[in-house]
Amino acid sequence: MRPEDLETNMLRQQILSGDLKTVVLDIDPDNIDVARMKFCADVISRGGLVCFPTETVYGLGADAFNEAAVENIFAAKGRPSDNPLIVHICDTDMTEQVASLNDAQRAAVQKLGEAFWPGPLTVIVNKSPAIPAAVTCGLDTVGVRMPDHPVARELIRLSRPIAAPSANLSGRPSPSRARHVQEDLCGRVDVIISGGDARVGVESTVLDVTGEVPVILRPGAVTREEIAEVLGACDEADWKKPADVDGKPRSPGMKYRHYSPKAEVVIYDGSDPAERRAAMARDGNEYAARGLNVGILTTDEGLEAFGDGFAVLTLGSSRNLPELTHSLFARLREFDERKTDVVLAEAIPEEGMGDAFMNRLYRAAGGTVVDIR
Ligand code: AMP
Ligand code: MG
């Protein structure tokens, strides 16, 4: 036996014998270990669950065509059974394996793929009958994405299309680091690949192209302006009102309180930063006087506004939107580690990527916003 296969063979035996519930494997995205990758692909092909890094957040993957494996994803996460999964592919042609595209959808996927794939954009199209109902929760559409991460792409290349939601326990902040996945899913999945921090830090933009006009169902790093440039038009669902006129959620995931730390989160909005921060400090002092552990989530520019009585965490410079977005989920988890009871978080303008940032913060806060006007 070749020495590089020794390790993975041992791991395989330990998993099969039940001695080891979850294997954590380091895989360097810049120098991919082929034997380890093959081991992971083998786990997927046998119906197992593998957590893997992507550029958005870590994913919890299973063979998209294996219904029982897909059902295990829902069990491992405690995910509601009406919240569909995204299918991950590694080249645009693979879309045809998972979707039944009409001409308009094929043209849209072609253009979007050229502009944004691999990358943080999920496209909703008509589903292929080959995709089990468990993936789409009975919907006749499916979300398809080509991730931009060497480990994710190699795993898909060695397997088949992979169904994967974010690799967190349902309701918890999404995992932008391998450590977050381990915190939530050790003992619940077969393998966790540790492959560095996720570059973007929030989930993909979800774009529905099954209607007349393309509609963003969930904002992400690919913005409405960028999509409109490619497709000529792009609407966005109002994510503060997740249901359409019939009360039916447009994007099933949008109706849940999401991304939440254990603490209560309250958003402070308003155009004047000094007033906003003064209100946060005032309310923070009141919470602290009642014996609560108070966290403040702000930017570098806001740090001076808060005294020592609080756990103050910064997301980075307010001028650097990608940096703010990148650290959001990690900071929400840090508040949990500090046993924070209430987090007072500063809003940022909902422009460009700020839309994705505020969408996630709004969900974490369960919609609780204090407006300082
Ligand atoms: P996650 O993988 O945790 O980022 O969640 C995937 C999200 O994609 C779901 O919560 C839905 O909001 C969205 N999604 C996936 N498939 C569909 C679909 N067929 N129609 C509408 N939204 C979808
Ligand atoms: Mg998720």
The string of pLDDT tens digits covering residues 184-238 is 999 999 999 999 999 999 999 999 999 999 999 999 999 999 999 999 999 999 9
Residue 245 confidence class, pLDDT cut points 50, 70, 90: very low
The string of pLDDT tens digits covering residues 28-48 is 999 999 999 999 999 999 999
* Ligand 1 close to Cβ of residue 209 (< 6 A): no
Residues forming CATH 3.40.50.11030 domain(s) in the chain? 264-371
CATH H-level, domain 264-371: superfamily: Threonylcarbamoyl-AMP synthase, C-terminal domain (3.40.50.11030)
* Ligand 1 close to Cβ of residue 166 (< 6 A): yes
Whether the pTM exceeds 0.95: the reply is no
* Ligand 1 close to Cβ of residue 215 (< 6 A): no
Looking up tokens 């099969």 gives 16
Taking CA atoms only, the protein residue closest to ligand 1 atom 10 is 253
* Ligand 1 close to Cβ of residue 217 (< 6 A): yes
* Ligand 1 close to Cβ of residue 84 (< 6 A): yes
For residue 252, give the ligand 1 atom closest to its CA: 12
Q: Kindly state the average pLDDT of the residues 276-285.
A: 96
Residues forming CATH 3.90.870.10 domain(s) in the chain? 3-249
The string of pLDDT tens digits covering residues 294-308 is 999 999 999 999 988
CATH architecture of 3-249: Alpha-Beta Complex (3.90)
Query: For helices 321-337 and 354-364, what crossing angle results, to 10°?
Result: 20
CA of 335 to the centre of ligand 1 (A): 27
Write out the two tokens for 261: 């730390």
Q: What is the pLDDT of residue 244?
A: 54
**CA-based torsion, 254, 260, 266, 268: positive or negative:** negative
Question: What are the start-end ranges of the H helices in 248-338?
Answer: 273-289, 321-337
Taking CA atoms only, the protein residue closest to ligand 1 atom 2 is 165
Which ligand is the nearest neighbour of the Cα of 260?
A: 2
Residue 23 confidence class, pLDDT cut points 50, 70, 90: very high
Residue 7 confidence class, pLDDT cut points 50, 70, 90: confident
